[in-house]
Amino acid sequence: MKTALVTGASRGIGAAIARRLEKDGINVLRHDSGKADLSTMEGVDKALEGIDSLDILVNNAAAAPGGPIETDTPEGFDHLFAVNVRAPYFLIQRARMNDGGRIINISSVATRMANPAQTSFAMTKGALETMSRTLALQLGPRGITVNVVAPGATRTADNSAIFTPELKTAIEALTAHQRLGTAEDIADVVAFLASDDARWVTGQVLDASGGLFLGPPAQGVQ
Ligand SMILES: NC(=O)c1ccc[n+]([C@@H]2O[C@H](COP(=O)([O-])OP(=O)(O)OC[C@H]3O[C@@H](n4cnc5c(N)ncnc54)[C@H](OP(=O)(O)O)[C@@H]3O)[C@@H](O)[C@H]2O)c1
């Protein structure tokens, strides 16, 4: 039986990923911040405590977006980078991944937007995407794939309050499928990348957004 570690599996997308991988017959180790605070290196090591080897590592845990540049603080910025970038990087360094393993890092479509409200958050996810490409090359000879799933706006039991009717309507208008995503929409894509079927896919960023930002073209554009 394969073993997976899913970080941030207490709720939201991480919990859905853990449920889906379990349904696929995988032994899932669920991490949450109460078990190991990933803003510290002690927490990174604690998250891996007692794990002899891993077939699948899903770096899903993330600190929530900070503010725009005007209100961001150095402390908040460091926290964001510690949880969203340093922790995944050193989890990969220290996890005893089996050959043929799968590493899946959860980014965000925020990396392709110029959203002043989420500059520092988008920077962390951009770093995650760059890291994934490089590590895909380095770990390729061992048959380990490293990929990124970039969710679009995804409503979960815990974040539904942020999707006001106005925001929901605005996002749906920009989305090919004209709805918000669900945690299961993201989990199913992660499950594909974790499966044997995805053995030939590595170093890629896969949007799971229902076609956010696909159009429509500006008026007058042929
Ligand atoms: N939801 C969206 O619309 C959306 C869109 C794009 C990308 N994403 C990305 O998708 C992933 C999951 O999103 P979500 O909405 O499900 O997030 P969420 O509900 O905020 O859950 C975040 C998870 O990360 C854990 N976490 C946060 N800070 C931590 C820390 N210092 N140490 C250890 N664990 C920590 C939380 O653990 P505790 O519960 O123990 O605090 C929780 O399990 C994240 O990477 C997020 O950036 C989400």
> Over the stretch 70-129, which tens digit does the pLDDT of each residue have?
999 999 999 999 999 999 999 999 999 999 999 999 999 999 989 999 999 999 999 999
Nearest CA residue ID for atom 47, ligand 1: 62
pLDDT at position 222 is 62
Pocket of ligand 1 (CB under 6 A): 8, 10-14, 32-34, 37-39, 60-64, 83, 106, 108, 151, 153-154, 156, 158-159
Q: Which atom of ligand 1 approaches the CA of 180 most closely?
A: 3
Are 57 and 102 in contact by the 8 Å Cβ rule? The answer is yes
Domain boundaries along the sequence of the chain: 3-208
C-alpha–C-alpha distance, residues 141 and 143, integer Å: 5
Residue 162 is predicted with a pLDDT of 93
Which ligand 1 atom lies nearest to the CA of residue 60? Answer: 45
Listing DSSP states for 32-93 in one string gives -TTT--TTSHHHHHHHTTT---EEEEEE---PPP---TTT--HHHHHHHHIIIIIHHHHHHH
Predicted local confidence at residue 67, as pLDDT: 86
The verdict on whether omega for the bond into residue 216 sits within 30 degrees of 0, i.e. cis, is yes
Q: Pick from 209, 64, 206, 210: which is nearest to 146 by CA?
A: 206
* Residue 66 pLDDT: 87
CATH fold of 3-208, please? Rossmann fold (3.40.50)
Q: Smallest Cα–Cα separation from 9: which of 140, 20, 1?
A: 20
Long-range (24+ apart) CB contacts under 8 A made by 129-138 are 129/105, 129/205, 131/85, 131/88, 131/89, 131/105, 132/103, 132/105, 132/203, 132/205, 133/203, 135/92, 135/103, 136/202, 136/203, 137/203
For residue 214, the model assigns a pLDDT of 77
User: What pLDDT does 217 receive?
Assistant: 66
The alpha carbon of 208 and the centre of ligand 1 are apart by a number of angstroms equal to 16
Using most ligand atoms within 8 A of CB, pick from 60, 115, 189 the residue to mutate for ligand 1. Answer: 60
Centroid of ligand 1 to alpha carbon of 13 (angstroms): 7
Which amino acid residue places its CA nearest to atom 42 of ligand 1? 8
Q: Distances from the Cα of 220 to the Cαs of 124, 171, 216, 217, in angstroms?
A: 36, 23, 11, 8
- pTM of the full structure: 0.97
Query: Which residue ranges in the chain fall short of pLDDT 50?
Result: none
**DSSP 8-state secondary structure symbol assigned to residue 217:** P
Structure tokens at 86: 């340093």
Query: What pLDDT score does 215 carry?
Result: 63
